[in-house]
Chain A
Amino acid sequence: MKPILEIDAVSKRFTRTLDVAGRVAQRLGAKVREETVHAVDSVSLTIAPGEVVGLVGESGCGKSTLGRVVAGIHSASAGRILLDGQDIAALTGAERRAATLAVQMIFQDPFASLNPRLRVEDIIGEAPRVHGLVTADALSDYVDETMRRVGLDPALKRRYAHQFSGGQRQRIGIARALAVKPRFLVCDEAIAALDVSIQAQVINLFMDLREELGLTYLFISHDLSVVEHIADSVAIMYLGRIVETAPTEALFEAPRHPYTRALLAEAPRLDQRRRQFEPIRGEIPSPLDPPPGCHFHPRCPKTQDICRTALPALDPIVPGRHAACHFWAET
């Protein structure tokens, strides 16, 4: 099947340029320099129509930045995002607009991502009206239908966001994204801020919407159990790079990269009691100053000399599986 979305060697760098005072200080010999963060470092990923791809990693690994590049909120510093085989950045006019609307994003914090001064009907109805997807007299019915689709009572559409609970607000955010009839949703930690009993409701909603609307998801999360449940395939990120990709079941059955293995072993599970093992040491290093070679080598239990100098490629190990480790075969 032809992929719906391809991420082709995408990098995103953030540079803090020096201000006037900084440049003067530099001229005078002070040790100040421009700082560059390689938030995303040459990441490639292919997503088939109807697929749910889980993107997993810890804070600072670049997963949210990648999601924002895919959704068009950030532009890529290098590389291309292809929708239906076409580079989104190269499109113009109506085609560009259609491509932009086709990819929508759902954010983590349902308290910060909704405009507090707008009524729910405007939050949901503004974009389809502006983009001419519905006529003015059909808008009200369209908003009602969209609200019902995400499990909200249309009678509440004159209310403001603050009059809703966290779970309901997340549903409003989902309705806003759905209102422009997207084909691809980027969900960035979309359930992390919700209570446990509400999380299940929203996960179910995502799965229902996938069935009804044929949506494709890039599901960004730090929560492995959620990703294991809804994703078809998983990509694990560490410090700006993808270190392993695999079909979900294969990954959880036999993780290949030492970092994936650590993540799986250390995620708290209900069936684990009085754990005794020694967790992996150290913390994710600063992306301002990443270690050379394999980024994971300072924490890795299997580090050899080559890991300190050579960057391991994301090698195909079996069809559909890739791992970026010099020693994936030895385990």
Chain B
Amino acid sequence: MMLDIRELSVVFAGRGVPFTAVDRFSLQMERGEIVGIVGESGSGKSMTAHALMGLIRRSQVTVSGSALFEGADLLRLSREELRRYQGRDMSIIFQEPMTSLNPTMRIGKQVEESLRIHERGLSPAQRRARALDAMALAGLPGPEALYRQYPHQLSGGMRQRVMIAAALVLRPRLLIADEPTTALDVTIQAQILETLKDINRREGVAILFISHDLGVVRALCSRVVVMKQGRIVESGPVDQVFYHPREEYTKLLISSRPARKKLRGGQADG
């Protein structure tokens, strides 16, 4: 078992009443699996992912439970030890590719960044080769040309592929995708999902896919977990949850059609 999460909880101290963002989340993932986490905004799905990646500031938040990743408990590691996993054994891609990329740094450099951090001994040429390779894997056309460009010169879909490339450059075992297609057009969404499926098939990268869109999850994932207000309400193989939902809430989620996202104007997505 690659990932064994047991009773993961995230509680915000804050002033007054403590707020439980994630309530005893448990999940097991094998290598190469694609699992989806589905829920409305505020259900705690992103928080779970961020807690796993160690992106939550430990100052005002209490994270409890355990998350065994290939034997090591991610929640008990020191910051330094955790950093060795981040970007190398597990990566994350976020919802907004424009703001998640450094606007003043060239694409190539951003894709290579994990290499600079985790594999110091590489020459610039070697780094570039690995970066271009990752960019091709992420489905970017003409990576050599894109290498020297800046994020604002790319369309939304391409930026997201850049993020994917950067996340994959060290071939992590787990890729967490936090609503990666929510900010994109529907057609581009489908293409990105195809790319992710492809990557999973070719490289065996396990994907933890977070979304509020059941349709997207159904297209990509083999298993799904439904979250509501921090708690898991239902889980199982995706077809079973989709066609034979047990809980009222799941039924609601399936039957309600989320409002279509307004098509983003401006550059053509691709």
A and B: real partners?
no
Spell out A's residues near B (CB within 8 Å). none
Spell out B's residues near A (CB within 8 Å). none
